[in-house]
Amino acid sequence: MGRNANGEVSGLTPAYEIVGRGPELVLIPGTFADRRTWSRVLGRLSARFRCLLLDPRGTNETADPGTAFTADDLAADVASAMDAAGFERAHVVGHSLGASVAIILASRRPDRVRSLVACSPSVATDAYLNAVFELWSALSDSKLPDHAVNLGLILNAFGRGAFENGTVRAIVDEMDRHPIARATIKRYIECDRGLDLNPVMRNVDASTLVVVGSEDALTGVEQARAVGASVPGARLEVIEGAGHGPHLETPMTFARIVMSFLLS
């Protein structure tokens, strides 16, 4: 990572695509995810918005440069993708780590963010998340097959309904077909472990919606409440029956809430 003439972190340009027409909307995936994570809501969003979808470093079509990175670096990557796509100022929706990246982008570059949706965010690592990261790290160091590792990485990221209706099975099958390199997994773990939004949340002046599933067993409802309480004027929506991935588990409800907010 380098810095530009203003001393700001300059990001790499991730692989991206643009879908739809209308006001510009950037969709930022969470840990271990790529642009395909939005597939269940993209049809509804792209009917009203020109959507920029991207693959964060080390996922899908974007290479891992092989060095450690932070959420600030990922925010610089998003800004670089916006530059490449000609998105001067856009609505921004982020999930999980992507929600934190969106908050950082809105704080550091308020000129780029029209409004903000933070889905399943966390403020900082707590004791529970530290335990999760230790487990993820052990999985990435193990000789277990990719299927077992992938299942372990997402086991607590969904509500029980997503296991019953086949959502989790489909996601793990896709991860099995396109496994993330173990070294990249470890870099994401360290990125998540070092996350702390406390220095930046108060600086966000974009209109903000925080969305969380009532059954979120990963970052949890209370972390989302803390984000909602710390970002000035933010609104909190809890989606009943959803876990950490409402855009995958309850896509119609998620899209309705997000579109209502963005179009208001």
Is 184 part of any domain?
A: no
Predicted local confidence at residue 10, as pLDDT: 61
Predicted local confidence at residue 252, as pLDDT: 97
Is 186 part of any domain?
A: no
Is 91 part of any domain?
A: yes
What CATH number does the domain containing 107 carry? 3.40.50.1820
Counting as low any pLDDT under 50, the low residues of the chain are 1-7
Residue 126: burial class (beta carbons within 10 Å; 0-12, 13-18, 19+): middle
Is 85 part of any domain?
A: yes
Rounded CA separation 75/70 (Å): 9
Domain count within the chain: 1
Which domain covers residue 38, as residue numbers? 2-124+192-262
Is 63 part of any domain?
A: yes
Is 58 part of any domain?
A: yes
Tracing tokens 């949706």 back to the chain, one arrives at 117
Is 12 part of any domain?
A: yes
Is 234 part of any domain?
A: yes
Q: Please, which residues have CB within 8 angstroms of residue 221's CB and are 6 or more apart in sequence?
A: 212, 213, 214, 238
Instruction: Show the DSSP H helices in the chain as ranges.
Output: 39-46, 71-85, 97-108, 127-141, 146-154, 160-164, 167-177, 182-193, 220-230, 246-249, 251-262
3-state secondary structure (DSSP) of residue 85: helix
pLDDT tens digits, one per residue of 110-154: 999 999 999 999 999 999 999 999 999 999 999 999 999 999 999
pTM as predicted: 0.95
